[in-house]
Amino acid sequence: MGNRILILGASGFIGNKLYKELLPYFDVYGTFKSPNKEFEENTVMFHFDMNKNTIQTILTEVQPNFIISTTKGNYKSQLSLHQELLNYVLAAIDCKLLYLSSFSVFNAKGKFPSYEEDPLSSNTIAGKYKIKQEKAIKKLPSSKYVILRLPMVLGVNSPKIVQLKEASKYNAEFEIFPNLVVSATTINKIAQQIHYIINKNLEGIFHLSSNDMIHHSELFYEITDKLGLKNVIFKKIYSSNKDSYLAILPKQNLLPKNYQITLNEIIDDCVLQEAIDSVKE
């Protein structure tokens, strides 16, 4: 298979990490929406607004072998965009769609963790949209797509960790869910895993998540402690009296051991990277 990759949403948190990870090894292109001087001067970056434009021109110019969709935004526009992508992938001889989905496709389950082949069930608008999108993608031949479901994504510059540090800095509230059992991952591990999936030309559904679970509150207590953060006001939110699960775990489609991750490694990643960055300064 060829190695021309188009990342939709290459200026976002996940898309930009993927762009940096894959660029040394592949012919990588990307789209961005908000004005960005760095990207505007970059010939492999295309300005694209799915609310206003069709993706067809970019697809014709790039002729990608892999399309990675990390897009966010208006659900109706996303469905239209992905329909265009599905039509393109189906017609192309050599093209595969990698779609970043999330744990939200299971958020109505509650009693157990969720695995790759479990029935989808959501009670939120975001989750229902993702389910609709996944169902449309699954109509493609299996060799033409990969669905990558993500749990909560952490890492030193992740929105959640930045928010936690801000809460410490400004003596502000940070929401935790003592009765919610979650899984997680890091932005670095996602980039490595997707790189491997492209290299090996894998197909199917993957849960890019830790192999283990933890209570949401415990996870953030531990990260706060290891980062040495003070003054965080933890606001405890109880959605039910019993434990509920918003955890996805890998089971049917396991990646090799060195591409798997545990919660201890995730916590270390959030802390270790911080230490490395402060040494650099």
CB atoms within 10 A of CB 21: 18
Distance CA 254, CA 249 (A): 10
Whether 44 maps to a domain, the answer reads: yes
Q: Lowest-confidence range among 14-28, 137-151, 247-261, 262-276?
A: 262-276
- State how far Cα 14 lies from the chain centre: 6
HSE-CB of 252 using CA atoms within 13 angstroms:
10
Distance CA 198, CA 122 (A): 29
Q: Tokens 């798997």 identify what position?
A: 260
Name the domain count of the chain.
Answer: 2
pTM of the predicted protein model:
0.93
Same domain, 56 and 193: yes
How would you list the strands of the sheet with 244-246, edge to edge? 214-215, 180-182, 244-246
What is the average pLDDT across 213-220? 97
Q: Kindly tell me the number of DSSP H helices and DSSP E strands found in the chain.
A: 9, 14
Whether 256 maps to a domain, the answer reads: no
Question: What is the tens place of the pLDDT at every residue in 128-162?
Answer: 999 999 999 999 999 999 999 999 999 988 999 99
Whether 257 maps to a domain, the answer reads: no
For 66, the domain range is 4-152+186-207
